Amino acid sequence: MRAYAFLTKGAIEPLSGFVWPTPTAGEPGVWVDRDAAPSEALRGCVARNLPYWLDDELWRIELAGTVTERGHLLLAERARLVGRVQAWGESLAWDFVIACARRVARQAAAALHEAGQADAAARLERAGDLPELDMAASSAADYPGPAGRLSGYLTDVCFYARDASAAPHAAGVAAKMSAYAIAGDAGDSRGHDERLAEERAWQAGWLVDRIGL
């Protein structure tokens, strides 16, 4: 079964620290089973679950034997790396961060318009990069109701993404925080869960399209 795996630099599995044997001379890497690697290393995910596992390197992986699904993961008895997806890298990761932040900015701007704060909404709509989004959101975070709440969420997305140690980690932070910001009140369990799933699906679609999977 073909799937995808995000690994840290050097083809290292982030959950276990296992160093994967990489493909050579255009051939897939050697098969690895549970005798040679921790069981949690033999994992992958389908494209719709990419936003949950963002990391430095994206690899195509082949899973074999009994494959079971656990949450957003596929766990296998054997696996091997097939090839690295070169389109995923620092530049695209930052593009994804900004795309996620703009999703929150769009909702915050709509709420500001509804609250009669057209100038504040326009500042958000004009903002291009993270510093501009952060500045525009910070100036509106004290407004009452959804306008202030969403603006505050946006400042958090910008701050924690910029504070991350590397672009792929910033992408993971932005993906999670923006999805929960857009999902809204967790007390509305059905609506919240549906909105959260829809936003994660949008993120996956963005990644698939931009990476070219």
pLDDT tens track for 57-116: 999 999 999 999 999 999 999 999 999 999 999 999 999 999 999 999 999 999 999 999
Same-domain pairing of 95 and 76: no
User: Is residue 189 very low, low, confident or very high in pLDDT (cuts 50, 70, 90)?
Assistant: low
Same-domain pairing of 126 and 179: yes
The 10s digit of each residue's pLDDT in 113-142 is 999 999 999 999 999 899 999 999 999 999
- pLDDT in the model for residue 79: 97
Same-domain pairing of 98 and 169: yes
Same-domain pairing of 16 and 64: yes
Same-domain pairing of 66 and 132: no
Same-domain pairing of 32 and 132: no
Residues of the chain with pLDDT > 70: what percent?
97
Same-domain pairing of 94 and 57: no
Last residue of a domain, one of 34, 67, 84: 84
User: Is residue 40 very low, low, confident or very high in pLDDT (cuts 50, 70, 90)?
Assistant: confident
State the total domains in the chain.
2
Same-domain pairing of 78 and 95: no
Give me the chain's average pLDDT, please.
93
pTM of the full structure: 0.93
| CA-to-CA separations, 8 to 16, 46, 178, 198, in angstroms, rounded | 11, 18, 23, 27
Last residue of a domain, one of 42, 67, 84: 84
Distance between start and end Cα atoms, the chain: 16
Same-domain pairing of 80 and 99: no
Strand 78-84, strand 73-75: pairing:
unpaired
- pLDDT in the model for residue 190: 64
Range(s) of the domain holding residue 52: 2-84
- pLDDT in the model for residue 184: 82
Same-domain pairing of 72 and 142: no
Give me the sign of the Cα torsion angle 207, 208, 212, 213. Answer: positive
Residues of the chain with pLDDT > 90: what percent?
88
Same-domain pairing of 105 and 184: yes
Same-domain pairing of 96 and 182: yes
Provide the strand spans (E) within the chain. 2-7, 32-33, 43-44, 57-64, 68-70, 73-75, 78-84
- pLDDT in the model for residue 18: 95
How many Å apart are CA 109 and CA 106, to the nearest integer? 5
Contacts of 211 (CB under 8 A, 6+ apart): 58, 85, 87, 88, 92
pLDDT at 155 over 70: yes
